[in-house]
Structure 1
Amino acid sequence: MKKEYQIYGIRTVIEAINSDKDIDKIFIQKGLRGDLIAELETLVRKNGISASYVPVEKLNRLSKQNHQGVVANISPVEFHNLDDLVLEVIESGKTPLFLILDQLSDVRNFGAIIRTAECTGVNGIIIQKKGAAPINADTVKTSAGAAFNIPICKVDHIKDAMFQLQASGIQVVAATEKTEQMIYDIDFKLPSAIIMGSEDVGISPSVLKLTDHKAKLPMYGSIGSLNVSVACGAFLYEVVRQRLS
C-alpha cells in the first residue's frame, strides 16, 4: 500500500471516519483496550467499515510509523452519490449503462473490470460497502488508471440500488448461468445495468430474483465458467455492438 493511501494512529483514524473519508479497511492490534479503541470500534460498526484484528507484527509490516495499534487503508478515489449520478446521466441524454458488482472480492479482477468498463463507456460502477473488493493501489494499477476516470458508487445494499435504477427506467440484467436466455436475446439498446457476481458463488439468490432479465454466455468447452472480468468484458462489448448497429 502506498503511503498516500494509508493512515495510522487511533485518533487519526477516528478523525478520518468522522470526516467521511472513504476507508477501505482498518487493521487493529489484537488485545488493545481503552476508551479510544472502544470509540473506534463503535464507529467501525456504525459505518460498516471492514476491520481485521491482527498481531502487532502485521501492523509493523504495514507501517514503520508509530501506529498505536491501528492502521487504515483509505481509498485513492472519491466515491460518487448514486442518486446524483443517475440523474446526471439521464439529463445528459446518453443511454444509461451501469455496472453492478455483487460481492466481487479480488482486487485484480476489480481493476480489470474497471478498465474494461471505462473503455466501453459505462457511466458508473456500483459496489456494496460491505464485502466488496477495496479500491487500493493494486486495483488502480490493474485498471491502468481507469479508476480515476469512471464514477464509482458505494451503496449500503445492492438491492436498494437496483430498485433505484429500475425506478429510473433502467433494466437490470444479471450475468448468470442459471438461465436459458442468451446474452444476445437482451435488448441492450435500452437503458441498462448489468450485474456481475462474485468469483466463487456468483450473484446472490436474493439479488438474482429481483433482476428484470437473466442472461448467459454460450459455453462450448469442458470448463463451465469464465473468469468474471472476462465474462464482464463479453457482456459490455455486446452492449457496444448493439448500440453501434
Structure 2
Amino acid sequence: MITSNSNSTIKLVKSLHHKKGRDEHKLFLAEGIHLVQEALQAGWKVQFYLWTAKLGESVEGRELLERLQTVAPGYEVNEAVFKGAAETESPTGIIAVLPLPAPVEFDLSDVSLGLIVDGVQDPGNIGTIIRTAWASGIRKLIFTPKTADPYQGKVVRSSMGGIFNVRIFRNEPPGSIIAAAGQKRIQVVAGDVRADRTYFEADLTVPTLILIGSEGRGIAPDWENFSIQNVLIPQPGKAESLNVAVSAGILIYEALRQRLNMDTCKS
C-alpha cells in the first residue's frame, strides 16, 4: 500500500492535474467509478490505476476493481494520500491513468455532422458540449488553438464519458478547417446574434460543421475571412446571452431534428 505523498507514482498522478504534466507524460486522469467504467467500455487502455478501500464499499466498485485487475497494474493507496492525488473534493476510491490519444491526421472524409469549438475556455462548458455531441451521434470535434485542454480533469468529468467516445482534433486553425471542409463540401454554420436568419431557417440536413465561439467574444475574428453561414438563436427575453453549451445543444439538436424529419418523410 502507498502511504506517502513522496511516492513517485503519487507525484506523477499529481503532475497530471496540470496541462504541462499531461503534455510531458502524454497521460491524463479519469476519476470515479462511472468514468473509469466508460473508459473501459469504450476500449481505452488503462496505464495504471490507484484505488482505496472505499472502492470496495459498493458492488459496482468491487466489480470494477476485479475488471481492472485483469487489464492494468494497480496500486492501493491510503485515504489521506489518495485524497491529495485526487482532483475532486469527495473521491470515490478510484483514479485511472490513461494515455492521451496519439495525434492523427486531420480528416473530415466521413463527417455528416461535426462540431468546431473555437476559443471556449470554461471546462464545464467544454465537457457539456462533448457530452451533448456524444449523445447526438457526433463523432468528430475540432478544437481551435485557443480552446482549453479537453483532457483536463473537469472537462473529462463533465463529459460524463463522452471524452472516450468522440475523436477530438486539437489546435486546428480556422484556415485549415475551412480548406478541409471545402474539399468535402461541408458547410460551416455559426451562431451569431447579428445574423439575419434564424437557425431553424438554415438547411442542416446537408454535411455541416457547427461552429461554437467562446463565452465572451463569440467566434474569433479570423472566421470573418471565410465564407460561413451565420444563424440567429432568437432570445425574445431580456437575457444578455445564452450559455455556450446551451447554444451548442440547440444547434446540434436542430440539425438532428431536421435529419430525423427528412428520414421520416422518405419512409
Q: TM-score range by the shorter chain?
A: 0.5 to 0.7
1:238 lines up with 2:261 in the alignment:
no
Corresponding residue of 1:99: 115
Classify the secondary structure of the residue corresponding to 1:162: helix
State whether structure 2 residue 29 is matched by structure 1 residue 6: no
Instruction: Give the C-alpha shift of residue 105 in structure 1.
Output: 0.7
Aligned counterpart for 1:81 among listed residues 81, 98, 104? 104
The alpha-carbon distance between structure 1 residues 79 and 122, as it changes in their structure 2 partners (threshold 3 A), is farther
Shift of residue 206, structure 1, vs aligned partner: 2.0
Give the number of aligned pairs.
182
Structure with max Cα Rg:
2
| Counterpart residue number, 1:184 | 200
Q: Evaluate the alpha carbon distance shift between residue 5 and residue 239 of structure 1 in structure 2; reply closer, same or farther with a 3 A threshold.
A: farther
Deviation per residue, 1:160-187 (Å, 9 max, x gap): 1122112211001111112111101111
Corresponding position of 1:199: 215
Identity of aligned residues (%): 29
Deviations 1:178-202 (CA, angstroms, capped at 9, x unpaired): 2111101111110000100000000
Distance in 1 separating the partners of 2:209 and 2:235: 23
Whole-angstrom CA distance in 2 between matches of 1:204 and 1:161: 13
How far the C-alpha of 1:225 sits from its partner, in A, is: 1.4
Q: Find the aligned partners of 2:13 and 2:249 in 1 and give their Cα distance.
A: 31
**RMSD of aligned alpha carbons:** 3.0
Q: Deviations over 1:119-170 (max 9, x none)?
A: 1111311002x32111211101001011110111013413211221122110
Match of 1:133 among 140, 148, 152: 148
How far is 1:205 from its partner?
2.1
Contact residue 195 and residue 231 of structure 2 kept, 8 A: yes
Shift in alpha-carbon separation, 1:197–1:76, aligned structure 2, 3 A: farther
Q: Say whether the 8 Å CA contact 1:199–1:227 is kept in structure 2.
A: yes
Structure 1 residue runs of 5 or longer lacking an equivalent are: 24-61, 64-73, 91-95
For 2:65, the equivalent position in structure 1 comes to none
1:184-232 per-residue CA deviation (whole Å, 9 max, x = no partner) reads: 1111110000100000000112214414311011111111310000010
SS of 1:78's equivalent in the other structure is coil
Distance change >3 Å, CA 139–CA 180, structure 1 → 2? same
